Structure 1
Amino acid sequence: MSWNEVLTFENSKDLLISIGIMLVFLLFRKLFAKYIFSLILKLGNKAKTAFFSNIFIAVEKPIQWLFIIIGTFIAMDYFPYLDRSNPLFKHLFRSSIIILVTWCLYNLTSSTSLVFSRINDRFNIRIDDILVPFFSKAIRLIIIAISISVIAQEFGYNVNGFVAGLGIGGLAFAFAAKEALANLFGGIVIITEKPFTLGDWILTPNVEGTVEDISFRSTKIRNFEDALVTVPNAMLSNSTITNWSKMGKRRVYFNLIVSHDTPKSNLDNSVRQIRYLLKNHQGIHPDTIIVSFDEYKENGLGLLFYFFTKTTVWVEHLEVKEDINFEIMDILENEQVTYAIPSNRVLFDVDE
């Protein structure tokens, strides 16, 4: 094809029309993003729930790309240097629409938690928070798998043969991905047995902190240094897990040593007053309260304190302990009971 044929008047006119169509659709895309979508989003924000707003946000980008795809498809009618009757253009157009639909559905899975919340409220069905991320990720994988299979069929590939081939190579795949499969089954064990859920404070042989996310492969735990630790599910499911968030009450245990020369009556009165204090304190759980003259020590008389606070929240627990400690100080001071100070006594044998 010579340059004279390329730059004919008809070709130039069709080329300009094609470019004009693209510019018009780009303008429509800009107007939609700036005005129409903003208006729709404001209307959605007036609803009682954020469900509709999440739907509008999920479809915003795909709809903007829809303008470009439709504009391109129409512009190809006038583009002089490509033949739109070629089946490849139809396959590409249909595949693009499938990808946009997949994109919308993929974005909508972020609203899964809201859907489950509404299910809980309406049908009184309790869905654990730990299951929501798994459901969301599983739905995304299904959406992507279906989209890939539909696109493959659009281009004439036999999906059934591909699936049959997976059965033949399944053993080799399982051997190559045995660690990934172990983590997957570990995640299933965590979901079914529910040793913890999102937001729980747990202790394992490797890490202690708050559970932030549970995925197919791993669990993310925020430790008390504010670092994010990723633990493979296979390792976590086979570990000893202490779930501190399941405490109904929180233990306080300590010893106090008073001086050897403390009179018996003063020590007995102190023990009785402290026991009475703990039994009548609003922050102390009444089930188990032990205050006892426990043992004789080298440097004094040992008192044992064993009780529980009603709250399990760390800061509130410390506040109750602090209040109890100050009260114990006042009781011992009033009874003239002094604390034992660690010391060594040296005896000299002086020959006369």
Structure 2
Amino acid sequence: MKPAASAAVAEGQDPVDVAPDSPRAAVRDFLELTRKRRDADAALYMEAPYSTAPTAPTTARHLQTVLERELAIDLDTISPESVGKTKDDLPAGVDEIGILTSGGTHDPVRLVTRTVRGTRRWVFSRSTIDRTEARYAQLRSSWLEERLPPFWLGAGPWGLRWWQWVALPALALVAVMIGRLLATLSRGVLGRVVAHTTNDFDDELVDRSTAPLALGWGVLLGFLALPWLDLRAAAGETVGRILKTLLAMAFLWGLMRSLDVVKGALLRAPRAAAHPSAVGLIDIGTRLAKLLVAAIGVTIVLSQLGYSVTGMVAGLGIGGLAVALAFQKTGENLFGSIALGVDQPFRVGDYVSVDGIAGTVEVIGLRSTRLRTLDRTLVTIPNGKLADMKIESYAARDRIRLFAVLSLDYRTTPAQMRQVLAGVEAVLRAHPKIWPDVIIRFTALANSSLDIEVMAWFQTQTFSEFQTYRQEVLLDFMDVVREAGTSFAFPTQTVHLAGEPDLPLVVQGLDGFTRPRRPHDGPGG
């Protein structure tokens, strides 16, 4: 017995001339006539007595329905010769085009040669028609087709009947609506189950799973309704692949949402609060997990579309060097993000300086990191480069330094200087946020002032708080200088007029104004 028809003519093979009285021509003409609703003419391709019975057109339509729904007929595998296939175990004048295997039985579909109206032709055998009639009676849609007008039984695009084209979207809509209802009910049931637990993780997981559950329920209902449509073998296989893909997508969608829930639970955990460096690792780990889930989803879709995933992987292995070169920068940035996540030089929200660019870290992605500058511009730096750069993080400071130079007038006396030094130190040590190490020194006899350097640290990590503290102590410094009876100096220059001894010396300030030199002006003016 010959195997069932399944293989197509190899690509590049020269087309074969088809004899008009060959098995291939008979099957082709029979299918074309029934699709055009010329059932009476199609009945001539059935063996008597079926071809001459009053119900011959109906029997022809039943035969065509069974063949298209249970047997993927490939005309290229049927003999194009008038004598049929000769290298098989069947008698001469008998050809087999396939085997019907649904229902647990194996029924061959055979053609035999008969003389019809004086012409020798290949026709479907009596035993084949007997079996197909029994199979047609078992079709779920047979009762519907017997009651539909002829128009709805006509063939539409891709060989589907018009009533099937209407039923497909209608069933999809019903499946979506019932799927949402079942998802809501499932959420209610699961919500009652998890209500008895003490943590919020499972409650959030149930809340986030509603949409994937609705899709999953809808796809399962689609699987249940699909057999009632009695689609052609090829169409049924295509719709089945689509449903399998959607079911996998529903699962992966739920997994994606579960990753977000897991991420939130990990970030709220006490361990994450005690180890801030773990926050970045959790974020990057979640992103990589989602990337892996997305890759699995793409693989499933390609597999259901008929692409050989194994062949694609092998192809990547052969062209691995080209792929590595093409994705060199991408891989560099990906590993750079992993290095940043492990080393944790900064976190989202930190104020950092990278190669002279200062800003607040807004996003740490898998490819790049974005900084928001004080001018509100957004700077994007690839992670591969960022991992090799010098990064200065201001957020890592445990305290912020205050450095100021107090320039006093040259008329300040030593007693006044000692009073200012003591007053400035007292102001600093009285501040509640000051670090114990305070340095106040009279450091220089400058050109136009007596300089006091002040260095101290405030115990804060927030720059806005530091600005407030700095303002408070600077105002207090002004009070100290005023209470000491002296004043702050301003830059001046003393001009000596050579050759005119009787003229007074003139003092010119940096502001451009001049005044006669006064007897009490110091060396610096």
Q: Same fold (TM over 0.5)?
A: yes
Off by >6 Å, runs of 4+ in structure 1: 3-8, 16-20, 40-47, 124-127
The CA deviation at 1:202 is: 1.1
- Distance in structure 1 (CA, Å) of the matches to 2:453 and 2:275: 47
Question: Which residue of structure 1 aligns with residue 345 of structure 2?
Answer: 195
Aligned ranges 1:53-64 → 2 under 5 Å: 53-64=203-214
Compared CA separation, residues 36 and 206, structure 1 to 2 (3 A): farther
Matched, 1:343 2:492: yes
Contact 2:362 2:371 in 1 (8 A): yes
The CA deviation at 1:306 is: 1.1
Question: Which residue of structure 1 aligns with residue 402 of structure 2?
Answer: 252
Matched, 1:101 2:251: yes
The CA deviation at 1:233 is: 0.7
Compared CA separation, residues 228 and 86, structure 1 to 2 (3 A): same
- Distance in structure 2 (CA, Å) of the matches to 1:77 and 1:90: 10
Query: What one-letter code is carried by the residue in structure 1 that aligns with 2:464?
Result: V
Compared CA separation, residues 246 and 177, structure 1 to 2 (3 A): same
Contact 1:76 1:82 in 2 (8 A): no
Deviates more, 1:101-110 or 1:112-121: 112-121
Question: Which residue of structure 1 aligns with residue 361 of structure 2?
Answer: 211
Aligned ranges 1:49-88 → 2 under 5 Å: 49-79=199-229, 82-83=232-233, 86-88=236-238
The CA deviation at 1:224 is: 2.6
- Distance in structure 2 (CA, Å) of the matches to 1:20 and 1:194: 54
- Distance in structure 2 (CA, Å) of the matches to 1:251 and 1:121: 31
The CA deviation at 1:31 is: 3.9
Matched, 1:278 2:416: no
Question: Which residue of structure 2 aligns with residue 315 of structure 1?
Answer: 464
Query: What one-letter code is carried by the residue in structure 1 that aligns with 2:450?
Result: L
The CA deviation at 1:150 is: 4.4
Compared CA separation, residues 125 and 193, structure 1 to 2 (3 A): closer
The CA deviation at 1:174 is: 1.4
Contact 2:369 2:380 in 1 (8 A): yes
Q: Which has the larger radius of gyration?
A: 2
Compared CA separation, residues 212 and 283, structure 1 to 2 (3 A): same
Contact 1:58 1:108 in 2 (8 A): yes
Tell me, which stretches of 5 or more residues in structure 1 are unaligned? none
Tell me, which stretches of 5 or more residues in structure 2 are unaligned? 1-34, 40-60, 62-144, 154-162, 504-525
Matched, 1:112 2:112: no
Q: TM-score, normalised by structure 2?
A: 0.58
Query: What one-letter code is carried by the residue in structure 1 that aligns with 2:316?
Result: L
Q: What secondary structure is seen at the aligned counterpart in 1 of 2:415?
A: helix
> Which one has the bigger helix percentage?
1
Query: What one-letter code is carried by the residue in structure 1 that aligns with 2:264?
Result: L
The CA deviation at 1:274 is: 1.5
Partner of residue 326 from structure 2, selected from 176, 184, 197: 176
- Distance in structure 2 (CA, Å) of the matches to 1:206 and 1:351: 57
- Distance in structure 2 (CA, Å) of the matches to 1:180 and 1:193: 20
Query: What one-letter code is carried by the residue in structure 1 that aligns with 2:469?
Result: V
Q: What secondary structure is seen at the aligned counterpart in 1 of 2:411?
A: coil
Q: What secondary structure is seen at the aligned counterpart in 2 of 1:139?
A: helix
Compared CA separation, residues 230 and 56, structure 1 to 2 (3 A): farther
**Aligned-residue CA RMSD (Å):** 3.5
Partner of residue 148 from structure 2, selected from 2, 7, 10: 10
- Distance in structure 2 (CA, Å) of the matches to 1:310 and 1:115: 32
Q: What secondary structure is seen at the aligned counterpart in 1 of 2:278?
A: coil
The CA deviation at 1:157 is: 5.0
Task: State the aligned residue count.
Answer: 349
Question: Which residue of structure 1 aligns with residue 475 of structure 2?
Answer: 326
Compared CA separation, residues 50 and 211, structure 1 to 2 (3 A): farther
Report which structure shows greater RCO (CA 8 Å, sep ≥6): 1
Structure 1, residues 258-300: CA drift from partner, whole Å, max 9, x if none?
Answer: 111111111112112212332343221112x211111112222
- Distance in structure 1 (CA, Å) of the matches to 2:168 and 2:367: 49
The CA deviation at 1:137 is: 1.4
Contact 1:205 1:240 in 2 (8 A): yes
Deviates more, 1:88-97 or 1:325-334: 88-97
- Distance in structure 2 (CA, Å) of the matches to 1:272 and 1:319: 23
Contact 1:40 1:56 in 2 (8 A): no
Compared CA separation, residues 45 and 343, structure 1 to 2 (3 A): farther
Aligned ranges 1:287-306 → 2 under 5 Å: 287=437, 289-306=438-455
- Distance in structure 2 (CA, Å) of the matches to 1:351 and 1:337: 32
- Distance in structure 2 (CA, Å) of the matches to 1:10 and 1:218: 62
Deviates more, 1:229-238 or 1:82-91: 82-91
- Distance in structure 2 (CA, Å) of the matches to 1:86 and 1:26: 19
Aligned ranges 1:132-151 → 2 under 5 Å: 132-151=282-301
Contact 2:303 2:309 in 1 (8 A): yes
Partner of residue 384 from structure 2, selected from 234, 239, 264: 234
Contact 1:253 1:307 in 2 (8 A): yes
Structure 1, residues 174-214: CA drift from partner, whole Å, max 9, x if none?
Answer: 11222212212322332233222233221111522222322
Question: Which residue of structure 1 aligns with residue 371 of structure 2?
Answer: 221
Q: TM-score, normalised by structure 1?
A: 0.83
Query: What one-letter code is carried by the residue in structure 2 that aligns with 1:102?
Result: L
Contact 2:187 2:210 in 1 (8 A): no
| % identity of equivalent residues | 22
The CA deviation at 1:333 is: 1.2
Structure 1, residues 73-100: CA drift from partner, whole Å, max 9, x if none?
Answer: 4443343665588433333322221121
Structure 1, residues 221-259: CA drift from partner, whole Å, max 9, x if none?
Answer: 232334433210122112111011111211111211111
Query: What one-letter code is carried by the residue in structure 2 that aligns with 1:9?
Result: R
Q: What secondary structure is seen at the aligned counterpart in 1 of 2:461?
A: coil
Query: What one-letter code is carried by the residue in structure 1 that aligns with 2:443?
Result: D
Query: What one-letter code is carried by the residue in structure 2 that aligns with 1:223?
Result: T
- Distance in structure 1 (CA, Å) of the matches to 2:346 and 2:320: 33
- Distance in structure 1 (CA, Å) of the matches to 2:412 and 2:276: 59
The CA deviation at 1:342 is: 2.9
Partner of residue 243 from structure 1, selected from 390, 393, 398: 393
Query: What one-letter code is carried by the residue in structure 1 that aligns with 2:392?
Result: T
Contact 1:25 1:71 in 2 (8 A): yes
Contact 1:252 1:308 in 2 (8 A): yes
Compared CA separation, residues 48 and 333, structure 1 to 2 (3 A): farther
- Distance in structure 2 (CA, Å) of the matches to 1:345 and 1:40: 92
